[in-house]
Amino acid sequence: MPGVRILLVGCSGFVGRALVPLLLERGHQLTLISRSANPLPSVRSPQVQRLQANPADAATWQRSEIQQALSSAEAVVNLAGEPIAEKRWSEAHLQLLRGSRIHTTAGLVAAVAALPEGQRPQVLISGSAVGYYGTSSSGCFTEQSPAGSDVLAGLCQAWEQEAKGAASLCRLVILRIGIVLGADGGALGKMLPVFRMGFGGPIGNGKQWMSWISRPDLCRLIAEALENRAYQGTYNAVAPNPCSMTSFAETLGRVLGRPSLLPVPAPILQLLLGDGAKVVLEGQQVRPEHLLQQGFAFEDPELSAALGRATT
């Protein structure tokens, strides 16, 4: 599916910084919808159009230039969502977390449904998260596992439910994304300065699971799911080798040549993030069963190599 027109929503941050250049390399034409007037300013290409709008606002999808961009798009990638674990989960922040995901996806799907059949995109890639499964210190989750019952699991269920409204309109791929590893953002971006100073260590008791994926592999997966019609349904977007927090800290320390002996006590994180600390202090062991069945070839299946590549 080379050289297609792709509408990108929520792809102007940490993942987008790698995804957009990759899609350009593959010859695609891109339209970015972002609240920023100039998202990804380092990307300069006549193949990129930028539209400033808040995708969580239902009125956005009624704007003529947005409708035109959507009707001319052959594919859509929707990764919209405020960061989960960066602020305390006040009721106002929870509303922001929900709205940025649920309202955005609902508005997008409704706009697709309103298009004449011949003008609808052929595929929608929609984000979700491994938080769908809830947390567990002993369970192992595949795409067939039931949803959890905590706040984040409920958010992911509602998010996915809105996306499933597109299943009768186009090919739908839902990606339940794990912890994305890249040096310039996400969890690793926050940990690197501390580890490089020699003060790194596991967060909490260190026994919680981390289901991760390297940013290059996530971007390759999105590109492949766009181009390969065999991709359809729900996939766990994680590497095949999840690890404990202790193992992650030890591996990162070893890759950097720094000690990793100073744990971050759970109460400190809870003081800073409130309920949001659950995302870091608790985890889940998630396996990419459907991706392995699909034959997706991970370039970074092992944590040590993934961290080495990300930090060099």
For 40-77, the pLDDT digits (tens) are 998 999 999 999 999 999 999 999 999 999 999 999 99
pLDDT number for residue 2: 63
- Tokens standing for 124? 């929608």
Residue 132 forms part of a structural domain:
yes
- Rounded to two decimals, what is the model's pTM? 0.95
DSSP 8-state code for residue 182: B
CA distance 309 to 252: 11
CATH of the domain at 116: 3.40.50.720
Task: Supply the DSSP symbol for 101.
Answer: I
- Residue 265 falls within a domain, yes or no? no
- Number of separate domains in the chain: 1
Q: What is the extent of the structural domain holding 13? A: 5-243+276-310
Specify if 217 maps to a domain: yes
* Encoded tokens for 57: 């606002």
| 125 inside domain | yes
How many CA atoms lie less than 13 Å away from 135 in the CB half-sphere? 15
DSSP E strands in the chain: the ranges are 5-9, 29-34, 48-52, 75-78, 123-129, 140-141, 171-177, 179-181, 209-210, 212-214, 233-237, 243-244, 285-286
Over the stretch 160-207, which tens digit does the pLDDT of each residue have?
999 999 999 999 999 999 999 999 988 898 889 888 988 888 988 899
Tell me whether residue 238 is in a domain. yes
The verdict on residue 18 lying in a domain is yes
pLDDT of residue 87: 79
- Residue 264 inside a domain? The answer is no
Q: Are strands 243-244 and 209-210 parallel, antiparallel or unpaired?
A: antiparallel
Domain contains 259: no
Averaged pLDDT, groups of 10, the chain, 312 residues long: 88 94 97 93 93 96 96 97 82 89 97 95 97 94 96 95 98 97 90 87 91 98 97 98 94 91 78 73 95 97 96 88
